[in-house]
Structures are given as C-alpha cells and as structure tokens.
C-alpha cells in the first residue's frame, strides 16, 4: 500500500471516529434540558416527580432560577433532578450567556410557570436571567415545554388555593397561555410534564404507509448518523428538514443508492 492510500485510509478512520463522537455528543445534548424556575410552587411537586422519571432514564438538567425561587429548590426537590450541582451561579444583570446555556441543552422546560414569568414571556420582555433565557429560546425557535398549572384558570391547585380572581383576571391568565402557545410553546399539565418532554415535538412526522422515516434513538434527536444509515432497509429515506445527516452517513446512503427526501 502506497503512502497516499494509507493517508486516505487514516483520514477516513479519523473522520469516522470524530463523526461518532460528534453524534454521541449531540445525542447526549438532546437528553439534557434547561430548567427555568420562577417564584411559584403551583404544580411544582407533581412536575418534579414527573421529571424524576427522566432523571432515572439518563436525562440531565441544568437549572436557572429567579431570586424568589431559591427557597423552593429544597434538597429533597433537587435530589429528584440530579442534585444541587445542576445549579450554576446566578448571572449578573445583562451577563446571561443565552447562546451558551441553550447550546448545552436540547430544550427549555418551565416546571412551574408563575404569572409574572408568563406575562413577561408573552410580551417578549427579558428583565432577569430566567425571562431572558425563556425569551431567548423563543426568539431562536428552540423547543420549550411549560407546565401550565401555575397560570391556567382551570388548574385544580389554583382553585384549591382560592386563586380564582374574577372573569377578567381569568381571561388575562388564559390569554398569556394562548399567546405562549402561539409562539410554539408546548403546554402540559405538571403531572404529565415528563411524558410531554419525552414525546416527539409536535410537527415531527413519523413513518407513514409504505415509507421508512428516520427515527432517532433519543426522542427529538436531530442527528442521523452512519449506524442509522447502515441499518436502513429502504431505497428512500424521508427525514425532517432540520435533521443533520453526518458526512459518513451521507456517504453510506449514496453508496447504497438511497434517495433522501426532506419533509
């Protein structure tokens, strides 16, 4: 074997190794969520109990909070989320690294939505670290899943505490949720928050009759790697427009004459 051929083989092996590591890192990111806490405990305990199932399944969480939420994150509650190490130091006003925080996590989750945070987000206001991260996620089109219990007028917990208000107040609360949902926010009840996170994002298409669609190993995964390409048993691959096909996966698909259709 001459030097040129050897260099080609080594480069391909290196590219294969790097691609596998990149895919692994991206898939790990898809099982990491940025949790935002504001000053309410409405629905908090059922939300954390639901999220603990994801912790047991290998998910990791990074936590950001408002100052008035500090007392809500007790050691017992933190243990459900992997421990206090998930909370970085609070950023000074204007110093929140929005892209860094969003880049480390596959989605943003609000386990307990306060009325104040709902109002800020619905108006696109970023007045503190938590509202800046939430607004930043919406501006960037990131996936956001929110427990509605703290704001929804139909919440049993709100009603049990007598937080009903008059008709106009309830209309205001409902309006915040309608506006957030129009921004692409996925609303769920706190007890079902973990299920909503683990489910495919609304709009992601599954396989239909007579076609094979890429199904990432982790829900919501946005990477199609070489291993998936090697196990594909169809001559046509229908895959989401925002799914990354790695270079080696693309090469594998070409070699097998697989037609790629973005949907």
Its pTM stands at 0.67
Residue 35 has what pLDDT?
Answer: 93
Distance CA 10, CA 93 (A): 49
Distance CA 184, CA 139 (A): 10
Same domain, 16 and 104: yes
Same domain, 102 and 47: yes
In this structure, is residue 1 part of a structural domain?
A: no
Q: Which of 198, 214, 233 is the last residue in one of the domains?
A: 198
In this structure, is residue 218 part of a structural domain?
A: no
Same domain, 250 and 126: no
Residue 94 has what pLDDT?
Answer: 60
In this structure, is residue 77 part of a structural domain?
A: yes
Residue 206 has what pLDDT?
Answer: 46
89 in helix, strand or coil?
coil
Same domain, 134 and 237: no
Same domain, 65 and 146: yes
Residue 13 has what pLDDT?
Answer: 61
Instruction: Give the contacts of 246 (CB within 8 A, at least 6 positions apart).
Output: 19, 22, 23, 223, 224, 225, 226
Same domain, 121 and 232: no
Torsions phi, psi for 67 (to 5 deg): -55, -35
Residue 15 has what pLDDT?
Answer: 61
In this structure, is residue 187 part of a structural domain?
A: yes
Number of Cβ atoms within 10 Å of the Cβ of 235 = 10
Q: Which of 198, 232, 251 is the last residue in one of the domains?
A: 198
- Looking at the 3D structure of the chain, how many domains does it have? 2
Residue 216 has what pLDDT?
Answer: 41
Residue 225 has what pLDDT?
Answer: 80
Residue 208 has what pLDDT?
Answer: 44
Same domain, 189 and 99: yes
CATH code for position 113 = 3.40.50.1950
In this structure, is residue 52 part of a structural domain?
A: yes
In this structure, is residue 147 part of a structural domain?
A: yes
Instruction: Give the contacts of 171 (CB within 8 A, at least 6 positions apart).
Output: none
What is the radius of gyration, based on Cα positions, of the chain?
A: 22
Domain of 238, in residue numbers: 223-262
Instruction: Give the contacts of 155 (CB within 8 A, at least 6 positions apart).
Output: 42, 43, 148, 149
Residue 226 has what pLDDT?
Answer: 78
In this structure, is residue 205 part of a structural domain?
A: no
Same domain, 147 and 257: no
Residue 144 has what pLDDT?
Answer: 96
> Which string of DSSP letters, residue by residue, matches 101-146?
HHHT-SEEEEEE--HHHHHHHHTT---SHHHHHHHHHHHTT--EEE
**Residue-by-residue pLDDT tens, the chain, 263 positions:** 677 766 666 666 666 555 555 444 445 557 889 999 998 999 999 999 999 888 888 888 888 988 888 888 888 888 877 765 556 555 555 667 899 889 989 999 999 999 999 999 999 988 889 999 999 999 999 999 999 999 999 899 999 999 999 999 999 999 999 999 999 999 999 999 999 998 876 655 444 444 444 444 444 456 788 778 888 878 888 888 778 888 778 888 887 888 888 88
In this structure, is residue 209 part of a structural domain?
A: no
Cβ-contact 223, 246 below 8 angstroms: yes
Q: Which of 198, 215, 245 is the last residue in one of the domains?
A: 198
CA 209 to chain centre: 29
Same domain, 118 and 242: no
Residue 222 has what pLDDT?
Answer: 66
Same domain, 231 and 194: no
Same domain, 135 and 243: no
Same domain, 100 and 228: no
């Amino acid at each position: 074997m001459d030097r040129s051929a050897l260099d080609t083989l080594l480069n391909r092996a290196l590219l294969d190794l790097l691609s596998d590591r990149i895919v692994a890192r991206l898939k790990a990111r898809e099982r990491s969520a940025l949790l935002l806490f504001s000053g309410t405990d409405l629905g908090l305990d059922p939300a954390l109990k639901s999220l603990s199932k994801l912790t047991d399944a290998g998910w990791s969480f990074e936590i950001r909070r408002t100052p008035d939420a500090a007392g809500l994150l007790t050691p017992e509650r933190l243990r459900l989320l992997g421990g206090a190490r998930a909370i970085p130091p609070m950023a000074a006003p204007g110093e929140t690294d929005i892209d860094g925080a969003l880049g480390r996590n596959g989605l943003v989750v609000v386990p307990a939505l306060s009325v104040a945070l709902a109002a800020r987000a619905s108006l696109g206001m970023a007045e503190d670290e938590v509202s800046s991260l939430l607004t930043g996620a919406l501006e960037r089109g990131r996936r956001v899943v929110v427990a509605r219990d703290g704001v929804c007028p139909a919440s049993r917990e709100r009603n049990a505490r007598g937080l009903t208000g008059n008709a106009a107040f309830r209309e205001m609360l409902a309006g915040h949720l309608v506006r957030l949902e129009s921004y692409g926010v996925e609303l769920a009840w706190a007890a079902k928050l973990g299920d909503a996170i683990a489910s495919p994002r609304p709009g992601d298409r599954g396989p239909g009759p007579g076609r094979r669609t890429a199904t990432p190993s982790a829900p919501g995964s946005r990477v199609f790697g070489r291993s998936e390409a090697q196990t594909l048993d169809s001559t046509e691959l229908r895959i989401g427009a925002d799914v990354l096909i790695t270079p080696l996966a693309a090469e594998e698909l070409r070699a097998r004459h697989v037609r790629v259709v973005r949907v």
